[in-house]
Structure 1
């Protein structure tokens, strides 16, 4: 009976992890293709958390460093900086796009070829403080897909 309880507890933990991760909807995800020798690129998507959440990190085996970045005007200068987290207010779409918030893939281990995919893991914290992960296979594009915001090249 004791082993059954341990197995049941582990199964419930895995189930709650999956449900929490599914609480964030990802649309229009894409990553910008890179060329040999290019060491960084960006990934973009729209995130919606019906119950609210926070994007607390990102990672990818395709890069030595994966960070959440923000670009914004500081006077007359566009500046990019890493941010530790990004709130996803309940029911509001948050766009990660060129020229705004985005995922930076730094120290690329190999070029990201057009029409391939790149694995990216979103690290999330729900409104109750429960951490989860959302595994994505993001398509690699040479330019922003139609309907996506174009703009800044990394």
Structure 2
């Protein structure tokens, strides 16, 4: 049943994005770590056009702030830097993943729990597009690779 619901959500997410210049697959937001109200969003963004697209993250209710971030390792330590936009060449994909590029979501104004969906408002080539990101447990099959991601919550 859970996989059927997830499949239905992915179809809805993909079909909602098909009308625009991008398609997002494997969209997900992790449940915030207990005691925090900050988390991150991930997925693969595909440019479905014949020219470059520019993407900005605008809003994600119930979070007070949302930013694009790029993680990198410097002198053996993971660091993050804010990015204004993501640019994706024609027909190419861009991965948002733990330990790499991701969407940071700050200061949730209400609890964010598994099985919810967060509508993230994007500007794609200056056109508004909203994509629903399902909220998932950190205990998914990807959890071991996501250990670095926890450091993102200590801004």
TM-score range, shorter chain: 0.7 to 0.9
Structure 2 counterpart of 1:39: 37
Distance 1:79 1:91, change over 3 A: same
User: Are 2:97 and 1:97 equivalent residues in the alignment?
Assistant: yes
Which sections of structure 1, spanning at least 5 residues, go unmatched? 1-17, 126-130
Structure 2 counterpart of 1:77: 77
* Structure 1: 4+ residue segments shifted above 4 A: 18-21, 144-149
Bigger Rg, structure 1 or 2: 1
Distance 1:19 1:150, change over 3 A: closer
Q: In the TM superposition, what is the alpha-carbon distance from 1:26 to its structure 2 partner?
A: 0.7
**CA distance, structure 2, for counterparts of residue 29 and residue 139 of structure 1:** 7
User: 1:82 aligns to what SS in structure 2?
Assistant: strand
**CA distance, structure 2, for counterparts of residue 114 and residue 34 of structure 1:** 10
Matches within 5 A, 1:1-154: 22-34=20-32, 37-51=35-49, 52-125=52-125, 131-143=126-138, 146=141, 150-151=145-146, 152-153=149-150, 154=153
Which sections of structure 2, spanning at least 5 residues, go unmatched? 1-15
Q: What's the RMSD between the two structures over aligned residues?
A: 2.5
Distance 1:144 1:28, change over 3 A: farther
Q: In the TM superposition, what is the alpha-carbon distance from 1:44 to its structure 2 partner?
A: 0.6
Aligned residues: 132
Distance 1:113 1:19, change over 3 A: closer
